[in-house]
Structure formats: structure tokens, C-alpha cells
Amino acid sequence: MNKKIICILAMTMLIGTVLSATGSIEKNSYLTEKNEPLVFLDPMSGKEIQYIIVEANTESNIDKSMVQSLDNLAPNPSFENGNDVPDGWTCDTFGLKASWDDTEAHSGQKSVSTFNLERNDWHIEWMTEDFIPINLRDNTYELSTWYKYNGIPEEMQYGCTLVYTCDENYEPLIVYIAYLDYSEEWIYGQTFTSWFLSEYVNQTSYIKIGVGQCSLYSDYNINSDVEVRFDDVFFGLGETNPPNKPEIPVGPPNGKPGENYTYSSSAVDPDDDYIEYFFDWGDGNTSGWLWDTEDEWFYESGETVYASHIYVEEGTYDIRVKARDIWEQESPWSDPLQVSMPKNKPINTPFLQFLDNYPHLFPLLRQLLGLQ
């Protein structure tokens, strides 16, 4: 069987498999760093394939002329041309329903839609007919579409964009899905390939892109009357701006080893993307990437982050912090905050020297004097 056909069938069966097996994915899941990616067995190739979910960035006031001026690799992006189906696109409905008509459109006369989603572990999608060659090593690509919901979806029922990746032999590698938040008006949903898993960047030679509707949980309700419309799809070279340089950390400039001290900082993302933070404590330790544990998601642009650290040894240290947005674009390091952690022993006197020579005497007094 032709390898291209194998890849198409494998990816089609993969989506049906993973949508029935996810079980615990929550909205705003960011699996590339926070959790291990989901792994499934591809029924055609017999290989394990990873499956990554993110949430698309949405914008209602995007400059339409700017997007249309870019070199679009998506075929027939406004779905204006075609006979039975729009040129360059195929509809994989698993027996469910999708349409291409002139009922409404964001631009031009026609748009595509998906509707009548009746099963939690199934999906509906429009997908590009041909593979698109890409070079992830040297470029960042944007996948975006104008979309709208007709009808209110149930929880965990979403419109989405999809990217199927293959290697140079058209063997499937990994599937990326970006959820599109509910909007009853036409709105722009946007993602970037900068969050693709780094270990697959060099292997990825071809992709197919898709737009569709899906639901993950078998124990959630579905509103089968919900229609999600798509128009003006864009896939091409794109750029997302990293967060600005974070503010210099704020916190105690002096302290004692063994004590826990808290420091804070903030950064602004020019695209208003969500942010996570990374503190370098200057003693060989770091905070790792920090996100909002209360909301279980990233910090909003400009929101203050707090982090605590205990210095074990006395010394002078430089605390720095950097920020990273949801597309894994990193800011420069902040200016350093220099902190000093001396022993803070009192001036030596014969009596204090006596206490130092007999460390078990007068424990309360020793504590008050800062000798322990």
C-alpha cells in the first residue's frame, strides 16, 4: 500500500483512538512541559505515537489585511472554489455531518462547518488533501482560522485545529490539537509550531492541517445541534513575540542561611500571552518553570509571581528571573538582585567566646544572640 495512504489511514484511526482514551484531560492542559505527553499505539504502523493538546490563542480584532498578505500554504483557504467539496480539502466525518455552503462566511461567499457530533469519542474534521512540506528547524509556522459557534457546546466539546506530522517517508509521528474557545461571533484562533516537541522537530518533513469539532470524555454530555464554522484558514511562516524582560526581583537583600525567603517579579507579554517564570537563585539552584498552582495554568501577562528559596551557605548571590510564554518563547534575563547571606554573629567578647566554647549552655540566650 502506498505510504501516503498508510499515513492518512493511520492518522485517521489514531484520532478516533486517542479521543476515546484521554479520560483526564482538562481545558487549558499544557502537556509539552507540565505533564508527560499521552502515548498511543498507532493501529496501522504498530508504533507508539504521542498526542499533544493545547489551547489556541483567540483574538477578535486581528488585522485581517496583515494575515491575508502573508504567504499562505493552506490550499483554497477561504473555501471559495470547488465542486462537491472545496478544492484541496477532504472531509473525514466517520459517518457524521459536515457542510460546505454559502449559509454564512467570514469573507467571500462560503465556509465549511462541522455539526451533529453525537459521540464523545468521535470527531469531525476537514483536512487538507495533500501533505505540506515544512522545515521546523529554521522556521516557526502559524496555524490560524476564523471560526464561530452556532449553538452552545457542552463541557469538553470544542471546535479545534489539528496538525498531523509525518517524517520524510510519510510515516506518522505525532498529532497536535488546539482547542478553540467558545464564541458566537467570528473570532480568530491562532497557534504556533514553536510549542512542538523538540525531539520531533528534525524528524518532521510533512504535515496535514485540519479544522473540526471533537469531544474527549465518554462521561460528558454532547450537544449534537452545535455547529462550528470555519473560514479563512492560514498556515505559513509566523512569528510570536517573547515576553519582555522581567522586572528585577523584589525581596529581602539580606538574610541568614537556613531561612526561607520569598522573592517576586513580573513580566509583560506584547501579545498578551500567558506566562511562566524561571528563577535562578545564583547558588547553583533554580526554581524550574513556575506556573500558577492555584489556577493550574500560566500566569496572565503582567501578573506577579512569587517564589521562595533557602540558602544553605553564607555568601553573596545574584537572583535573576526570566519568563516564557505558552508558545515557548523566552524573555531575556532580568537584571540581578544581589542578596547577602552572612552568619550575622555578634561582635566577639570574652563572654560570647565563653558561650562559643560551651555550645550547650544557656540555649535560650544563645538563640536570642543569634548564635544558633
Is a pLDDT exceeding 50 seen at residue 77? Answer: yes
Angle at 28 between CA 175 and CA 232, to 5 degrees: 60
337 phi, psi to nearest 5 deg: -100, 120
For domain 3-237, the question of CATH label 2.60.120.260 is answered with yes
Predicted local confidence at residue 11, as pLDDT: 41
Angle at 165 between CA 163 and CA 25, to 5 degrees: 55
- pLDDT: is 124 or 282 the higher one? 282
Lowest mean pLDDT among 98-102, 274-278, 340-344: 340-344
β-partners of residue 307 are 263
| Residue 3, C-alpha cell as written in the block | 505510504
- Which one of 83-97, 293-307, 323-337 scores highest in mean pLDDT? 323-337
* Amino acid identity at 202: N
Is a pLDDT exceeding 50 seen at residue 19? Answer: no
pTM over 0.95: no
177/160 Cα distance (integer angstroms): 7
- pLDDT: is 304 or 296 the higher one? 304
Mean pLDDT value of segment 233-253: 91
Confidence of residue 358 (pLDDT cuts 50, 70, 90): low
Predicted local confidence at residue 206, as pLDDT: 95
User: Residues near 221 by Cβ (< 8 Å), separated by ≥ 6?
Assistant: 154, 155
Contact 287, 309 (CB under 8 A): yes
> What is the per-residue pLDDT across 315-357, written as a single tens digit (0 to 9) for each?
999 999 999 987 788 999 999 999 999 865 554 556 656 656 6
Lowest mean pLDDT among 6-10, 213-217, 224-228: 6-10
- pLDDT: is 154 or 331 the higher one? 331
Is a pLDDT exceeding 80 seen at residue 28? Answer: no
Confidence of residue 102 (pLDDT cuts 50, 70, 90): very high
What architecture (CATH level 2) is domain 260-341?
A: Sandwich (2.60)
Query: What are the residue boundaries of the structural domains of the chain, listed by start?
Result: 3-237, 260-341, 347-372
